[in-house]
Amino acid sequence: MPRIQMRTLLLAALASGVLALNVPIPLVAAPAVPTVSPSLISFSIEMDRWTDWVGTTARNQFFYNTLDNLKQLTGAPPFIRVGANSEDHTNFQQDTTFAQAIFPPPTATVPYPEATNITVGNSYYATTRFLPPNTHVTWGVNLGANNITAAFLQTRSIIKAFASPEFTSAGIVLDYLEIGNEPDLYKNNGLRPSTYTSTQWVQDWISFAKNISATAGLSASSHTKFLGASFAGSSHTTTGFSPQAAFRAGLLESEPGRLISAISQHRYSGSFCTGNGGLLQDLMTKSTIRGNLTVFTPDIAATHAQGLDYILGETNSYSCHGAPGVSNTAGAALWTLDYALFATQLGISSVFFHVGIGFKYSLIQPTVLTRSTLDGSPLSSPLPPHVQPQYYAAIVAAEGLGNTGRAQVQELFVDHPQVAGYGFYEDNHLVRAVLINSKAYLTKANLRTSVHLDLSFSGSGENIPVMMVVKRLAINLATDVSGLTWGGQTYETSDGRVTGSLKVDNIKVTAGVDIMETEAILLEFH
């Protein structure tokens, strides 16, 4: 085609707001494509207000429903980790009813701060029974206070709860005990001297883990194991704080270290701790997502070389509970979806999105709020429990993974800076695909562009799909905090259950499909 004609066609496409793009999709998964857990998108929950999430004498039905929605789609509920910042500010007193917590005053930057001190009793851990059946749980115990008696008492209470008939009959199991949260920050937050090193942390951890493993009855044959590291950052080398440095310091050679079966690291895309937020488009951008995760490649490789699982045990958009107008928006839902699916391509087995009561980046707000999550100002009327836009990412990913428990996920080559794609395979055969357009549509004053995707398939001897069902995550503006629909339906309901009439398109594969700015689509092939 002559250059002038090509330029004319390109200008015409730009003028119409539609650009055509070829997306090659293998019909058979590549040999190294990972099988992905149905609980890929899971939750890390701030410990201090745990019972606000799960309930006290009866379950929190709204929270239960939001977890059960995901279980209905994948066959397994999300994993739950209870811990984080308040993990290292928790003490135990047996006669405490549920918990007593001391909170600092709210600020405009952090409207719902974590507790500076929390005392819990046996009833606190026992409320874990209100989670959906077959939930796998991680509980954190206090290392930061350097009080081994407190850690012992917490562990004994946790083990007692999980051994009770209510837990065993429901199949609610304790996967991990996590000893301490983000010990690499202890030297900055006063929990250890400013000279604290990873070698010193390894010795601290071993000392506590010996006691805790004996208390919990952990062994090579027990289901419950230790979760290792839980660092806020990484040097990615054998010095500083990293899995490599911990391994070099003898973590895994110790008696309790042999009971570590997974390494956890934490990751945020930026910080709002001093009130400086990131731009929404920066968060959503395809290259930024990949850059924020690929830095962990050496850590993941070192972990897998030891035969251990690797997870992101705490992650979300911007630390200190998120940035207003960014973390709580529809654009963040697309970030969450791409972020979690891309993580699978690096060998990350599950991604625990951190949530807390009133946190801007929470996928779920499970209880009534009386002040703004954005600036802490009093609300004119209480805000009832609700899901936030990021929750839709969990729903879309769950539908992509399906309910077989053996879905494989393979990133598709999409030659576009803002369009990402993933193929979903069962028994190595293509069944679905998710495509994401992460260009932020911010104002109706601008033309909303689309990309037309022409699908081409590769794989000899396979049946090429003829028809596909197209389901859309419909978003008005990237900055919207509500009003999203998935296939015409909404989860923004009083009980967290889906409602509305399902709307999908059945089209020929040869027709291709359009995807707008700030949109995700699921294709199911037939």
pLDDT for 170:
98
- Enter the tokens of residue 262: 């997974």
pLDDT digits (tens, 9 = 90+) for 187-243: 999 999 999 999 999 999 999 999 999 999 999 999 999 999 999 999 999 999 999
Which of these, 502, 428, 511, 429, lies nearest to 468 by C-alpha position? 511
Please check whether residue 93 is in contact with residue 170, taking contact to mean a CB–CB distance below 8 angstroms: no
- Enter the tokens of residue 525: 């092939």
User: For residue 366, what are the contacts with CB-CB under 8 A and spacing of at least 6?
Assistant: 52, 53, 60, 62, 63, 66, 357, 385
Q: What is the 8-class DSSP label of residue 487?
A: T
Which of these, 80, 71, 67, lies nearest to 38 by C-alpha position? 71
Write out residues in the chain with pLDDT < 50, as ranges: 1-16
- Enter the tokens of residue 370: 């009386």
Q: At 189, which amino acid appears?
A: N
Q: What is the 8-class DSSP label of residue 185?
A: G
Please check whether residue 398 is in contact with residue 70, taking contact to mean a CB–CB distance below 8 angstroms: yes
Q: At 81, which amino acid appears?
A: R
Q: Residue 249, Cβ neighbours under 10 Å: how many?
A: 20
Task: Tell me whether residue 378 is exposed, middle or buried, using C-beta atoms within 10 angstroms of its C-beta: 0 to 12, 13 to 18, 19 or more.
Answer: exposed
Element (H, E) at 313: strand 309-319
Please check whether residue 155 is in contact with residue 216, taking contact to mean a CB–CB distance below 8 angstroms: yes
CA-CA distances (angstroms) from residue 196 to 181, 184, 263, 348, 460? 15, 8, 21, 28, 58
Q: At 54, which amino acid appears?
A: V
- Enter the tokens of residue 70: 């995901």
- Enter the tokens of residue 408: 């494989």
User: For residue 164, what are the contacts with CB-CB under 8 A and spacing of at least 6?
Assistant: 126, 129
Return the percentage of the chain with pLDDT > 70, whole number. 95
The total number of residues written for the chain in this structure = 526
Q: Residue 101, Cβ neighbours under 10 Å: how many?
A: 18
Spatial separation of the C-alpha atoms in residues 324 and 272, rounded to whole Å? 9
Q: At 478, which amino acid appears?
A: A
- Enter the tokens of residue 87: 């993990």
Domains of the chain: residue spans and CATH: 3-33+406-525 (2.60.40.1180), 41-401 (3.20.20.80)
Spatial separation of the C-alpha atoms in residues 266 and 233, rounded to whole Å? 7
pLDDT for 460:
65
Question: Which residues face 227 on adjacent strands?
Answer: 178, 262
